[in-house]
Chains A and B, each alone.
Chain A
Amino acid sequence: MPVSTASTPDTPLPRRSRRIRAYALTGGRTGTRYQLLVETLISVPRYDPALSDTLMPESRSLYERARVRCSVAELSVGLDLPLGVVRVLLGDLAAQGAVFVHPTAHAYHHDTDVLERILDGLKRLPA
């Protein structure tokens, strides 16, 4: 199934900026039902080349790059796409099951074990 990008914008784009085009790719949407924090890790659990072929170039780049687990922020830097665009496109990919959205430490904030593991990890870092 091709990635859903809602409808194409009705009005012509005022400027031919690459960044404006990037937002056009999201159908003007700026939100996603997934909470994709800048540090949220993204993986591709089962890579499917046939699926990759159906994706728009930007979504395909995200899909390909996330084959090596990567944070939302690193995807934004690596592909030079604004965070807002990365979030919307990743939300679409997650909704169709193409990518896995890892939980972040905050999902476990009721559980002090995670904080203690982080504290322990910091204390073990070579100085």
Chain B
Amino acid sequence: MGSSGSPPEGDLLTISAKIVVAGGFGVGKTTFVGAVSEVPPMSNEAWMTEAGQGVDDLPPGTKSTTTVAMDFGRITLRQDLLLYLFGTPGQARFWFLWDDLSRGALGAVVLVDTSRIDESFAAINYFENDSELPFVVALNQFEGKPVHDLDEVRDALALDPAVPLVTCDARDRASTIATLTELVGHTLSLAVLSGPAGRELAVGTPHA
């Protein structure tokens, strides 16, 4: 920080972008974020929610507040361009928080663990039906795991042919970067296709 107490020249021009890392419980989201983030993944109990807003069974008349953790990491792509990676809360009852996280994102990486493919059905469903975000599905395949044929996996997931399906090793930095590159390339190809008449959302300005 300068002695003037003001940010350095040009700092105000810095912008940020976001990619959502989704998938079911235990598929490697935090590992993925940690492999590429320049800081240890950050986490806190960011959201407060009334239990019962989801599917909790609570005795009648009871009200309880639950906190849900947010996990994220950061990559400085250029001095004036930061990329944040946000892992989604794994539990299915927190879908409404996925909407919050997805808003304004470049797209999503849905991680699938080969040994528990069904864990990620709900996430794929969300991005296919309940969200406008471009997404890719990444099969988290690391050493010692059986290698699956991508076509078989695509069938098992009933994945739309237009959605890219790649393999990655969530522990490996180069592999996670390649997956993110695949996603942004996909987003870019859709943006070129849809042109300036695409989605609209004014961000960072008052919308009074």
Report A's interface with B, CB cutoff 8 A. 19, 23, 33-35, 37-41, 43-47, 67-69, 71, 73-74, 76-77, 80, 82-84, 95, 100-110, 112, 114-119, 121-125, 127
Contact = CB atoms under 8 A, between A and B. Distances in A.
Range class of the B interface residue count? 35 or more
Interface in B46-89: 46-48, 65, 67, 70, 72, 74-75, 77-78, 81-84, 86
B153 interface: no
B42 A77 contact: yes
A103 B47 contact: no
A114 B198 CA distance: 15
Nearest to B105: A106
Nearest to B70: A73
A74 B73 CA distance: 10
B159 to A, nearest CB: 23
Contact of B11 (A43, A76, A105, A115): A43
Contact of A119 (B15, B44, B184, B202): B184
Contacts of A108: 15
A-B residue pairs, 6 tightest by C-beta: A121-B77, A105-B17, A47-B5, A127-B174, A106-B104, A103-B204
B106 A38 contact: no
Nearest to A34: B206
Contacts of A102: 12, 14-16, 204
Interface in B192-208: 192, 196, 198-199, 201-208
B14 A69 contact: yes
